[in-house]
Amino acid sequence: MVKGNNGKGNNGKPAGSSIPGVASDVRLAELAPLSGWSGMKESEHFVQFYETDKFLLDSLSGFIGTGLREGDGCIVLATGAHLKELEERLTFEGLDLEAAGASGQYVSQ
């Protein structure tokens, strides 16, 4: 059960609600909570647990995309399928991964 949110799951929906586009047996309350990485200090880090690839890629593309847009260095170690999807999303968002890679700002494997 999701605690501390007045019975609401992620995105303010009631805990236990179905998620559109996800198998009906997966409920909001069963997913890992969204990480608050936007308020992190420079020397902090976090681990993102996930139940679905979509959840992971939404979180990862937000985190890496924000870092690249702000001029931070970003290193990604991921499976081939996750890396391909991540880079497709970042490119779609208008990020130039070739230039970021050439400058050493973006490293992936």
What is the residue extent of each domain of the chain?
1-31, 39-108
pTM beyond 0.75: the answer is no
Average pLDDT for consecutive 10-residue bins of the chain (109 residues)? 38 44 48 59 76 91 93 93 97 97 96
pLDDT of residue 93: 95
Residue partners of 32: CB distance under 8 A and separation at least 6 = 48, 49, 50, 51, 55
H or E element at residue 106:
strand 106-108
pLDDT of residue 43: 74
Are 56 and 49 in contact, with CB atoms under 8 Å apart? no
Residue partners of 108: CB distance under 8 A and separation at least 6 = 75, 76, 77, 78, 83, 87, 101
CA 21 to chain centre: 18
